[in-house]
């Protein structure tokens, strides 16, 4: 993405799946917000409109995959590539998104410690599902010039062009943490330097002309833009930001703005109080555990949040936001809005979730089901009873809610239901007179 941008192209970025961190890197590379394309949460029929929104005003849309090409979620674990029904497949895999967009796939292969076997690997990916078009190969972690020659010779009979061969270099090893890459918000300048270094390597070792030509030869799609929220009311929403809380979909924020929300950002590590004259609070996910000491030390803000939210301020908190609203996180005092305590563990809770509202709340009416995902290493006690959660390997009640609050581990994407943004803003207008804004 960064190398194409250096050529003067307007580059848009997409990310398969519900990832928050990678789109932050994409934004550095492209200068535009990174967008998520998730067919399980947002449904297959929304992928082309969401991709069109991502690509609006650009010359090329580059979509990064998730895991392996065919890895994804499915409600039916027996589903595979051989099934005749194209609607029944491993939803939101990279292959699924490529099919929905009729997009060519460039397969990035880890070529370390291999030579002839690379052909078997590529052959398997290229033939596993004939509906997916593997149109190019980039070899990664190539050891030397002679190693590259061996790899290209091995791939010669497959008739799939090798569009690049990136050398093995420790300078390209990215910093990671238990949820993946370290978010951009923590070390933006360092990430910028790393991406520029990587872009130079791509210019040297990849055929960018061939990659651009492949994109230009992709079939043309005609699709409407995604639905936009109707204007509901003029409200102000405080949005937690900064390194501790950077996991919010840009689509969610834009949908709130369309519904009438003015978004006011604040950093919970340093702000001494919530922004003035607000109707609601939105706290997304992130790494509050990394900044727990700073968050706990900011007692004036915690006291203000506790007073305003318990006093009726409309509030939406997802994952990390749930931990911040709890009584404590790993023994450190938090806002004490939620009557529960959180601790970090070494066990990952990961996966798509169906969430049925057991309590009427600002996002979901009682009995309404929404799709989302969880990705965390923490637990909270008690779990709460606001949502009936169902996933492949999990089920049960969890989360905390009232007509003015929803706090849970589940991340929701408003591309799945634009009505969630409208309902949230309507809740702000309906409960005007509580919170810390002046009553009308």
Residues catalogued as catalytic: 319
For helices 47-55 and 94-101, give the axis angle rounded to 10 degrees. Answer: 80
**CA dist 209 to 173, 196, 308, 384, Å?**
26, 19, 56, 54
CB-based contact 11:25 (threshold 8 Å): no
Percent of the chain that is helix, strand, coil (3-state, to 5): 30, 25, 40
Neighbours of 12 (CB within 10 A): 24
CB-based contact 230:259 (threshold 8 Å): yes
Nearest CA to 243 out of 263, 269, 265 is that of 269
Chain Cα centroid distance, residue 128? 27
For residues 46 and 224, give the distance between their C-alpha atoms in angstroms, rounded to a whole number.
10
For residues 13 and 24, give the distance between their C-alpha atoms in angstroms, rounded to a whole number.
10
**Paired tokens of 143:** 């050891």
For residues 427 and 313, give the distance between their C-alpha atoms in angstroms, rounded to a whole number.
10
């Amino acid at each position: 993405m960064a190398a194409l941008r250096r050529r003067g192209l307007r580059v848009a970025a997409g990310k398969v799946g519900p990832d928050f961190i990678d789109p932050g890197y994409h934004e550095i590379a492209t200068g535009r917000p990174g967008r998520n394309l998730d067919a399980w949460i947002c449904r297959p029929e929304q992928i082309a409109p969401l991709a069109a929104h991502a690509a609006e005003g650009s010359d090329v849309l580059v979509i990064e995959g998730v895991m392996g090409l065919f890895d994804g979620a499915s409600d039916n674990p027996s589903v595979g590539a051989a099934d005749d029904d194209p609607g029944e497949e491993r939803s939101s895999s990279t292959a699924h998104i490529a099919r929905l967009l009729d997009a060519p796939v460039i397969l990035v292969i880890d070529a370390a410690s291999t030579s002839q076997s690379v052909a078997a690997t590529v052959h398997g990916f290229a033939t596993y599902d004939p509906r997916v078009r593997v149109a190019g190969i980039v070899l990664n972690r190539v050891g030397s010039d002679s190693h590259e020659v061996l790899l290209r010779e091995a791939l010669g009979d497959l008739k799939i062009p090798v569009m690049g061969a990136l050398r093995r270099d420790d300078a390209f090893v990215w910093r990671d943490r238990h949820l993946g890459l370290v978010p951009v918000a923590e070390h933006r300048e360092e990430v910028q330097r790393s991406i520029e270094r990587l872009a130079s390597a791509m210019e040297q070792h990849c055929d960018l002309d061939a990659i651009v030509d492949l994109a230009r030869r992709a079939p043309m799609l005609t699709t409407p833009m995604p639905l936009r929220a109707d204007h509901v009311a003029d409200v102000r929403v405080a949005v937690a930001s900064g390194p501790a809380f950077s996991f919010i979909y840009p689509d969610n924020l834009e949908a709130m703005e369309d519904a009438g929300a003015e978004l006011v950002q604040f950093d919970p590590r340093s702000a001494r109080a919530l922004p003035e004259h607000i109707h609601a609070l939105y706290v997304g996910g992130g790494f509050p555990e990394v900044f727990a000491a700073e968050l706990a030390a900011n007692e004036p803000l915690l006291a203000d949040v506790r007073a305003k939210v318990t006093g009726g301020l409309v509030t939406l908190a997802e994952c990390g936001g749930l931990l911040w609203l709890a009584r404590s996180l790993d023994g450190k005092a938090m806002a004490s809005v939620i009557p529960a305590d959180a601790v970090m563990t070494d066990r990952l809770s990961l996966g798509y979730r169906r969430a049925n509202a057991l309590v009427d709340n600002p996002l979901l009416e009682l009995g309404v089901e929404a799709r989302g995902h969880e990705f965390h290493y923490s637990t909270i006690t008690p779990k709460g009873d606001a949502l009936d959660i169902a996933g492949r390997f999990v089920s049960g009640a969890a989360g905390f809610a009232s007509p003015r609050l929803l706090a849970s581990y589940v991340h929701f994407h408003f591309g799945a239901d634009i009505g969630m943004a409208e309902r949230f803003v309507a809740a702000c207008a309906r409960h005007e007179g509580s919170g810390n804004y002046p009553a009308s």
